[in-house]
């Protein structure tokens, strides 16, 4: 191999590592204010998360038919389900891959692949959002309208990506997040509360005051408000907690349980088969996510309302299970009668995650961690378990620091004098200039970087092509610039 060729290969290997570098790599080992963790070492918690992630990745993260895209497998084959994946699953995958970057060097590739799946399957009702399902053949003819919960996590995942990798790459994560957030405000909110999807307002059977309780994501609402500048998201958060309080006062005063679907104002449980199944008005396969959302809100914002809600829930649950998380059952009536006799991580893991809010739940949290880290079954419970473990271990962070600081621009600023290619202003064009451009291109601009003379191909923008040309110039493969 020629020395110059070897040098360029090394340069691009270095660029690849820069492109995948993280600002908040796993593990973050956060200690959320006024919360607790299982009585295990941080290194053990991280190891358990890594082990579960390895299992999750092998079981559920799959390459899609679309080049460069990935999907989260919900079913093994068509006999198990009518569709391949969903916006819900895509959102979970984006949350997980963005937070596991640093441990998984390919996390950005997977995240961007999940985004490409979203981008190829837009909602028929609002093109800014994602079709709630993706067919087995990934044909756009199978696309449908959106489901609010999926797009909520997709937008939040894009915010995580912005703070993890920056938004100067091939996907402008923060702009995409803002676009989805604004679209949801327009088509997935009515009567001051989240509704089931972008199709609802045109369908009188599922109109105002019809909501999915697991869409009441307090921390999401806070971030949406900050990034969009729309304080209506905080009003929605307040409305959700008001609805929860009214609902539990009237229908589940002894348990604190919430129904899958809530209708009317004042709120009441939906009727059986309102949207999905006969348990739509009880604590079932949608509402089981609600304790995790409550815990994330308390951990990230310090809002006392989710802590109050969780304590009511856990005081009932610990009594009903004899303080044994392995005895959590898969669904309950609002009065606390179990729907089934079997265990599922979909119900157990969010409840265990909720225990972080109060030292009174220390034993339940520690024993619960040892239960859920070994709970492995299928798509839905396993995704909720991994998300719960990330929060419990202090590795699920809030994408909010310096949120209004604009991302660095790579557009060149004209200057009266200088040397083309010299972006560190030392009057010499060398490999350092190429590396500075590469670092800025992936969202990590360094002190002393001046893009004014970086546009060496004279196309009006400074990007990785310019870095390559400077590297080629440095080793003598090109004699000059435009």
Backbone angles phi, psi at 30, to 5 degrees: -75, 150
**Residues 440/442/446/449 CA torsion (nearest 10 deg):** -10
Taking 90 as the threshold, does the pLDDT of residue 405 lie above it?
Answer: no
The mean pLDDT of the chain is: 90
Which pair of tokens denotes residue 315? 């005081």
**Residue 101: inside a domain, yes or no?**
no
CB distance 300 to 32 below 8 Å = yes
Taking 80 as the threshold, does the pLDDT of residue 344 lie above it?
Answer: yes
Beta strand 268-269 pairing with 133-134: unpaired
Spatial distance between the Cα atoms of 417 and 395, rounded to a whole number of angstroms: 48
Q: What integer is the mean pLDDT of 417-427?
A: 77
Percent of the chain whose predicted confidence (pLDDT) is above 90: 75
**Residue 400: inside a domain, yes or no?**
no
Taking 90 as the threshold, does the pLDDT of residue 51 lie above it?
Answer: yes
| Model confidence band, residue 301 (pLDDT cutoffs 50, 70, 90) | very high
CB distance 456 to 420 below 8 Å = yes
In terms of phi and psi (left: phi > 0; alpha: psi -120 to 50; beta: otherwise), the region of 295 is: alpha
> Looking at residue 467, what is its pLDDT?
86
The CA–CA distances, whole Å, from 323 to 131, 211, 254, 346, 452 equal: 41, 31, 17, 18, 64
Taking 90 as the threshold, does the pLDDT of residue 162 lie above it?
Answer: yes
| Model confidence band, residue 201 (pLDDT cutoffs 50, 70, 90) | confident
Please provide the DSSP assignment of 373-394 as one string: TT---SHHHHHHHHHHHHHHTT
CB distance 372 to 352 below 8 Å = yes
> Looking at residue 177, what is its pLDDT?
98
> What's the angle, vertex CA 95, arms to CA 19 and CA 109, rounded to 5?
30
| Residues spanned by the domain of 462 | 3-16+411-474
Residue 205, burial from CB neighbour count under 10 angstroms (0-12, 13-18, 19+): exposed
Q: How confident is the model over 133-158, as pLDDT tens digits?
A: 999 999 999 999 999 999 999 999 99
Residue 441: alpha-carbon gap to chain centroid: 24
Min mean pLDDT across 15-29, 48-62, 404-418 is at: 404-418
| Model confidence band, residue 472 (pLDDT cutoffs 50, 70, 90) | confident
**Residue 422: inside a domain, yes or no?**
yes
**Residue 302: inside a domain, yes or no?**
no
**Residue 461: inside a domain, yes or no?**
yes
Taking 70 as the threshold, does the pLDDT of residue 401 lie above it?
Answer: no
> Looking at residue 463, what is its pLDDT?
79
Taking 60 as the threshold, does the pLDDT of residue 17 lie above it?
Answer: no
**Residue 12: inside a domain, yes or no?**
yes
| Model confidence band, residue 6 (pLDDT cutoffs 50, 70, 90) | low
The CA–CA distances, whole Å, from 386 to 162, 262, 303, 325 equal: 21, 27, 24, 16
Taking 60 as the threshold, does the pLDDT of residue 1 lie above it?
Answer: no
**Residue 59: inside a domain, yes or no?**
no
> Looking at residue 286, what is its pLDDT?
98
Q: What integer is the mean pLDDT of 368-395?
A: 98
- Helices H / strands E in the chain, number of each: 15, 9
| Model confidence band, residue 452 (pLDDT cutoffs 50, 70, 90) | confident
Q: What integer is the mean pLDDT of 9-24?
A: 65
| Model confidence band, residue 453 (pLDDT cutoffs 50, 70, 90) | confident
**Residue 9: inside a domain, yes or no?**
yes
**pTM summary value:** 0.82
**Can you give the CATH number for the domain in which 9 is found?**
1.10.1330.10
Taking 60 as the threshold, does the pLDDT of residue 409 lie above it?
Answer: no
> What's the angle, vertex CA 93, arms to CA 163 and CA 342, rounded to 5?
135
Helix 232-251 to helix 218-228 angle (10° resolution) is 160
More confident residue, 470 or 97: 97
Q: How confident is the model over 432-442, as pLDDT tens digits?
A: 888 888 877 77
> Looking at residue 479, what is its pLDDT?
72
The CA–CA distances, whole Å, from 144 to 86, 251, 285, 338, 413 equal: 10, 34, 22, 34, 45
**Residues 195/268/342/396 CA torsion (nearest 10 deg):** 40
What residues act catalytically?
Answer: 88, 149
How many structural domains is the chain composed of?
Answer: 1
> Looking at residue 268, what is its pLDDT?
96
């Amino acid at each position: 191999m020629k020395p110059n060729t070897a040098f360029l290969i090394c340069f691009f290997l270095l660029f690849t590592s820069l492109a995948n570098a993280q600002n908040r790599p796993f593990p973050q080992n956060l200690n959320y204010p006024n919360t607790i963790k299982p009585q295990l070492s941080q290194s053990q918690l991280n190891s358990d998360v890594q082990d579960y992630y390895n299992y999750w990745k092998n079981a559920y993260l799959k390459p899609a038919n679309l080049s460069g895209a990935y999907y989260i497998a919900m079913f093994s084959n068509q006999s198990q389900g009518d569709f391949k994946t969903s916006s819900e699953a895509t959102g979970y995958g984006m949350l997980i891959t963005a937070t596991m970057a640093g441990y998984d060097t390919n996390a950005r590739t997977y995240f961007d692949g999940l985004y490409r799946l979203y981008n190829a399957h837009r909602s028929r009702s609002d093109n800014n959002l994602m079709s709630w399902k993706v067919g087995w053949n990934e044909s756009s003819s199978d696309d449908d309208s959106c489901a609010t919960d999926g797009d909520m996590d997709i937008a939040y995942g894009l915010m995580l990506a912005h703070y993890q990798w920056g938004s100067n790459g091939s996907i402008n994560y923060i702009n995409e997040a803002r676009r989805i957030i604004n679209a949801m405000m327009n088509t997935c909110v009515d009567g001051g509360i989240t509704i089931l999807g972008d199709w609802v307002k045109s369908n009188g059977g599922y109109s105002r005051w019809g909501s999915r309780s697991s869409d009441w994501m307090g921390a999401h609402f806070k971030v949406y408000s900050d990034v969009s500048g729309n304080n209506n998201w905080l009003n929605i958060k307040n409305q959700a907690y008001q609805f929860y309080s009214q609902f539990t006062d009237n229908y589940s005063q002894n348990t604190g349980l919430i129904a899958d679907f809530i209708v009317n104002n004042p709120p009441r449980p939906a009727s059986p088969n309102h949207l999905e199944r006969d348990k739509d008005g009880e604590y079932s396969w949608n509402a089981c996510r609600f304790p995790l959302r409550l815990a994330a809100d308390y951990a990230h914002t310090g809002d006392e309302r989710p802590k109050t809600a969780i304590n009511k829930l856990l005081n009932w649950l610990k009594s009903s299970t004899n303080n044994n998380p392995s005895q959590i059952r898969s669904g309950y009536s609002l009065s606390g009668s179990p729907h089934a006799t079997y265990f599922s991580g979909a119900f157990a893991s969010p409840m265990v995650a909720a225990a972080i809010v109060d030292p009174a739940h220390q034993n339940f949290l520690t024993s619960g961690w040892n239960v859920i880290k070994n709970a492995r079954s299928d798509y839905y419970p396993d995704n909720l378990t991994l998300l719960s473990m990330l929060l419990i271990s202090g590795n699920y962070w809030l994408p909010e620091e310096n949120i209004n600081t604009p991302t660095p621009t790579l557009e060149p600023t004209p200057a009266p004098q200088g040397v083309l290619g010299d972006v560190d202003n030392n009057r010499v064009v060398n490999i350092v200039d190429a590396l500075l451009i590469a670092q800025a291109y992936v969202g990590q601009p360094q002190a002393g970087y001046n893009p004014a003379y970086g546009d060496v191909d004279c196309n009006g923008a400074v990007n990785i092509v310019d870095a390559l040309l400077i590297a080629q110039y440095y080793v003598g493969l090109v004699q000059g610039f435009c």
